[in-house]
Amino acid sequence: MTPVMTETEIMEMLDKEFPQIHAGGRVYAIDSVSPGKAVLRLSANELHLRPGGTVSGPSMMALADLAAYVVILAHIGPVALAVTTNLNINFLRKPEAGDLLATCRLLKLGKRLAVVDCEIAGEGQEELVAHATATYSVPPR
């Protein structure tokens, strides 16, 4: 499965269609897109932290959802109306403040549904802080 959009093309589309993701500053970046895979970065700032300096659950859920959207867009093209139909996340350990990386892989890319597996870890860390699966509804192309 070869990507049909580059990191730059996807980010330009997100900037145009979903400028609200940058409301707290430019904290999301696409590190890479490759066949069946995308890596997205969250540079967590004070808006993403809970007391004690840990990255909040809602921030990790947003990262997983956006990363799933990015890997799907990379492979189907600029389809703004692909939407989340299910997102399940397991929080595995407390993430320290700093950059989090979400590595998402396409498990299935069908005509109507896409299923994605997403692993979240701190930059340079091997242990996962969260694991998510997401299903997206893909409109007819």
pLDDT for 98: 87
Given 3.40.640.10, 3.30.470.20, 3.30.70.980, 3.10.129.10, which CATH number is that of 7-137? 3.10.129.10
As a whole number of angstroms, the distance between CA 78 and CA 88 comes to 24
Rounded average pLDDT per 10-residue block, the chain, 141 residues? 94 94 91 98 90 92 97 94 96 92 97 97 96 96 74
What pLDDT does 140 receive?
85
**Residue ranges per structural domain of the chain:** 7-137
Measure the CA–CA gap between 101 and 103, rounded to whole angstroms: 6
SS (H, E, C) 12-55: HHHHHHCHHHHCCCCCEEEEEEECCEEEEEEECCHHHEECCCEE
So what's the pLDDT on residue 78?
A: 93
Question: What is the structure's pLDDT at 45?
Answer: 87
